[in-house]
Amino acid sequence: MASNVRQGYSIDYRGNVSHSTSIEDMYNSIKITSEKDNVYKELMVLQNRDLIDKYGFLQKIIKIDTEKENADTVAKRELNENAKVNETFSFEIVEKYDSYTRAGEVISVDGVKYAIESTSHSYKDGWHFDKLELSKLV
């Protein structure tokens, strides 16, 4: 590299930026039920009050086999996985020709950590372009 050229962090020079948030797959209340001989029983309800106050009541009902699963464990796991706003981010960067960003890596964009869900590489006129699809880590 020439002495008068400074190498930059390609994430800082992104183009074709798209950013979106969605609550489509979010649940802030988890109800655990069981069923035996066509009789349904409510075992527990676990909620995130802050998200209910902010987005409204979004409940997921899960039927479990009490002999195989614990209601408390299932409710905590499901609330942890589903009580979040999904945030996606995509943009294109120019990388060094011999560089190769891959899906599965974690990068920081403006101080926020994202998982790289997919990448699409292309080469044109000696330039290495990479389109990144990211999802926010919580």
Measured over the CA atoms of residue 65, residue 68, residue 70 and residue 73, the dihedral's sign is negative
- Domains of the chain by residue range: 11-22+86-136, 29-82
> Would you place residue 68 in the very low, low, confident or very high pLDDT band (cuts 50, 70, 90)?
very high
Structure confidence at residue 9 as a pLDDT band (50, 70, 90): low
Q: Check if the beta carbon of residue 117 is closer than 8 Å to that of residue 91.
A: no
Distance CA 80, CA 70 (A): 16
Q: How confident is the model at residue 61 (pLDDT cuts 50, 70, 90)?
A: very high
Using a 10 angstrom Cβ sphere, with 0-12 exposed, 13-18 middle and 19 or more buried, the burial of residue 62 is: middle
Q: Which pLDDT belongs to residue 118? A: 92
136 or 4: which carries more pLDDT confidence? Answer: 136
User: What is the predicted pLDDT for the residue at 101?
Assistant: 79
Predicted confidence at residue 125, as pLDDT, reads: 83
* Sequence-distant (≥ 6) Cβ neighbours of residue 136 within 8 angstroms: 86, 87, 88, 89, 112, 113, 114
Question: Greatest CA span in the chain, whole angstroms?
Answer: 78
Segment 75-98 shows an average pLDDT of 88
Average pLDDT, whole number, for the chain? 88
Q: What is the mean pLDDT of residues 27-54?
A: 96
